[in-house]
Amino acid sequence: MAKKKRSYTSTEHTRREALTPFGSRTDVGCIRDHNEDSLVVSPPLYVVADGMGGHAAGEVASEIAVNVIAAEAPQEPDAEALAQAVEAANREVLLASRDGRGRAGMGTTVTAAILEEERLVIAQVGDSRAYLLHKGELQQLTRDHSLMADLIEAGQITPAEARTHPQRSVITRALGSDPLMRPDLYEINVETGDRLLLCSDGLSSMLTDEQIAATLQRFPDPQRCATQLVNEAIAAGGYDNVTVIVRDVEGHAKQKMKKTVRKSRRWLALIITLFVLIVAGAAAGFGYYASHSAFVKDDNGKVAVYSGLPGDFFGVSLSLHERTTDVSVADLQPGIANRLKEGIRVDDLEAAEKLVEEYQKEVDQKAASAVPDDEGAKEAEAADGDAKDAASQPAAEGAAAAGQAAAADEGADAPAEAENAGA
């Protein structure tokens, strides 16, 4: 049985420095028997990664990701350079899933931040979050790549409902799932006195934003604050691994990032090997990962399910049309309809079918709410018809009586005319 990985407050990349006030902690939680989260604290770089794929897979993916990012990240707040480091981590996770270091289908979220003085850049993939406490108010800086975020944005569910939704763990983007993955980038101006929080969903799914904000304000020491946040998540149930990094903003505290030192020859050999593998196995790699992904898209006004990835690779389609559903795109929320034009990516066909079910429920609810109005209109029309019939009956009877009177008059005039003719 695998040893249970308990909480800790440092890794090989974590260093406490007098002028860099930060704290970090990760914990396996109350349910899991191993910790698939990884973190890096190497000023000015801070990274949280939440692996997935099961034992000997999720933790491998997250550890590979943080190690590559720590080695490749820039030493200053350069968003594009940080994105390139995350993309390099994605390629390495993909490679590791094929060469035996991990398992097929493994992946990881990543939220990486570089903070120097009052400049902050973030690269994010998945549902690990970055928050900023600014003048007592908590702001979520990143947007989750998840089914729940899509449904909340579309107005189909509330944030409170998302906490207990059966598909709350479905994410729509991760390292290790798409060779063409691109992180979301954020460039933010911060102020001295602000507090940055990076966390896995093991924290944000257990505590409300109000609870998180209260703890961030109550504990001035970053390390005590990080420990308290993890403890509160565990006390709330601890259903997942919990990882937290707390970093205070100090405008004039310039810190040089301590990157992992590796021999240049080793990196040169690795780069050459990667190049050969990428060139030789690109087509096979795209085919494999296309078969382990799915998306839904607008197909002539109907929601269609595809396996694979949107787009093509050198003219070769990366997707396979599975089926076109009866769900009309025009009946969905405008935000979802617009996104369906490009395609909404999910992890697999099962997740795609669940998304279609959610869309069908939305359409059914709209139809159900429209039924009473239709029935009322029919009843009103029937009542109007009855009223018209009732009004026309006396008129018809009056016309018949008038006709009979006229006939009688004509009969009376006939003998008189005959007498006059005889005379």
Q: What is the pLDDT of residue 281?
A: 54
Nearest residue to 47 via CA among 110, 109, 89: 110
d(CA 194, CA 177): 34
| Residue 364 confidence class, pLDDT cut points 50, 70, 90 | confident
| Residue 421 confidence class, pLDDT cut points 50, 70, 90 | very low
Q: How far is the CA of 3 from the CAs of 6, 32, 33, 34, 56, in angstroms?
A: 9, 11, 8, 7, 12
Nearest residue to 318 via CA among 286, 366, 364: 286
Q: What is the pLDDT of residue 387?
A: 45
Q: What is the pLDDT of residue 419?
A: 44
Percentage with pLDDT > 90 across the chain: 46
Six token digits for residue 78: 């350069």
**Residue 265 confidence (pLDDT) above 50:** no
Which ranges of 291-348 would DSSP assign to H, the alpha helix? 334-342
- Compute the mean pLDDT over every residue in the chain, rounded to the nearest whole number: 78
Q: What is the DSSP letter of 330?
A: G
Q: What is the pLDDT of residue 423?
A: 38
Q: Which residue has the tokens 């924290």?
A: 203
**Residue 9 confidence (pLDDT) above 50:** no
Q: How far is the CA of 228 from the CAs of 16, 46, 116, 163, 197, in angstroms?
A: 18, 19, 26, 21, 13
Cross-strand bridge partners of residue 20: 17
* Angle ∠(173,179,184) on CA atoms, nearest 5: 45
**Is 51 in contact with 36 (CB distance < 8 Å)?**
yes
Q: What is the DSSP letter of 355?
A: H
Q: What is the pLDDT of residue 270?
A: 56
pLDDT in tens, 182-230: 999 999 999 999 999 999 999 999 999 999 999 999 999 999 999 999 9
Percentage with pLDDT > 70 across the chain: 70
**Is 282 in contact with 70 (CB distance < 8 Å)?**
no
Q: What is the pLDDT of residue 399?
A: 47
37-69 burial: b if 16+ Cβ within 10 Å, else e: bbbbbbbbbbbbbbbbbeeebbbbbbbbbbbbb
| Residue 63 confidence class, pLDDT cut points 50, 70, 90 | very high
What is the three-class DSSP state of 332?
Answer: coil
pTM above 0.75, yes or no: no
Considering only 73-77, 197-201, 376-380, which range has the smallest mean pLDDT? 376-380
**Residue 82 confidence (pLDDT) above 50:** yes
d(CA 205, CA 219): 21
Burial of 363 (0-12, 13-18, 19+ CB in 10 A): middle
Nearest residue to 36 via CA among 260, 246, 240: 240
Phi-psi region of 306 (alpha: psi -120 to 50; beta: other; left: phi over 0): beta
**Residue 110 confidence (pLDDT) above 90:** yes
Considering only 55-69, 99-113, 342-356, which range has the smallest mean pLDDT? 342-356
Q: Which residue has the tokens 């593998």?
A: 277
pLDDT in tens, 304-339: 999 887 776 555 677 889 999 999 999 887 767 877
**Is 28 in contact with 6 (CB distance < 8 Å)?**
yes
Mean pLDDT of 162-171: 82
Mean pLDDT of 286-297: 66
- Of the two residues 16 and 340, the one the predictor is more confident about is 340
| Residue 351 confidence class, pLDDT cut points 50, 70, 90 | confident
Q: Compute φ and ψ for 126, nearest 5 degrees.
A: 100, -150
